[in-house]
Structure 1
Amino acid sequence: MTLGWRLKKARESRELTQVELGRLIGVTDATINRYEKDLRSPDPSTLKKLASVLETSVDYLLETAKGPDHDFEQLWPEGIKVLRRAHNKLSDTERERMLRLINAFIKEAEDEAEKGKK
């Protein structure tokens, strides 16, 4: 996967257009398009802005970070979109409740998986 591919996926998962992303970091949509098509690479300063706005790391965009957190975004982009949308709409109290529910669900799934191994 290239920087352009990762950039596009990160932008899409945040439901931003090329125009919106360009405005947020101070470049044109044509420049974002060139980055995503790997026709041009952002300078270090712009790369930092992209990572910040897209809530990811420079390492991820440059492919130097390959971990489960980043793989998860690739494997379940719809789930990530739902969580981001909910995060933006919920109060702090509601977010905490949602996180507790997710953690309880994960614990239950892990417990069931462990029972299946015995």
Structure 2
Amino acid sequence: MAIAERIKELRIQKKMTQQELATKVGLTYMQIGKYETQKSNPSSEVLQRLAKALDTSTDYLMNGSQDKAASAQLTDKELIRQFKEVEQLDNEDKHLVKTFLDAFITKRHVQKLAH
């Protein structure tokens, strides 16, 4: 996957229009369109602003490493290590871990609403 496809994919995942991304980065929507169609490549400065706006790393935008994208979004190294271990589990065990996480997060949301 090329940098153009990664920019577009992340923008769509974040439910942003080209105009919204352009505004965040300080460009025009036409320039974002050029990046997404490989008609132009962002400068290193613009690449940094795009990475920040898309909550990823410049490494991910340029090279596409999923580990680097996850690491860029997560700062807790122990949590990253644990997630990598969970990925190695069979589907049944992964489902169990996800169920526990969902239950814990839901409990915290309910507690916040109660206060």
Q: Which runs of 5+ in 2 are unaligned?
A: 71-85, 97-115
TM-score scaled to structure 2, two decimals? 0.59
In structure 1, list runs of 5 or more residues that go unmatched.
72-102, 114-118
User: CA RMSD of the aligned region, Å?
Assistant: 3.1
**Paired residue type of 1:62:** M
| Equivalent-residue separation in structure 2 for 1:112 and 1:19 (angstroms) | 38
Aligned residue-pair number: 79
- C-alpha distance in 1, partners of 2:95/2:33? 46
* Aligned-pair CA distance for 1:109: 3.5
Higher relative contact order (CA 8 A, sep 6+): 1
Distance 1:45 1:69, change over 3 A: closer
Residue 109 of structure 2 is matched in structure 1 by: none
| Over 4 Å off, 4+ runs | 68-71
Structure 2 letter corresponding to 1:67:
Q
Aligned pairs for 1:1-118 within 5 A: 1-63=1-63, 65-68=64-67, 109-110=92-93
Residues 28 and 111 (structure 1 numbering): CA distance in 2 closer, same or farther, change over 3 Å? closer
Residue 45 of structure 2 aligns to a residue whose secondary structure is helix
How many Å separate the matches in 2 of 1:31 and 1:12? 16
In the alignment, the residues of structure 2 paired with residue 55 and residue 41 of structure 1 have an alpha-carbon distance, to the nearest angstrom, of 19
Asked if structure 1 preserves the Cα contact closer than 8 Å seen for 2:59 and 2:68, the reply is no
TM-score normalised to the size of structure 1? Answer: 0.57
SS across alignment from 1:42: coil
Tell me the percent identity.
29
Distance 1:48 1:70, change over 3 A: closer
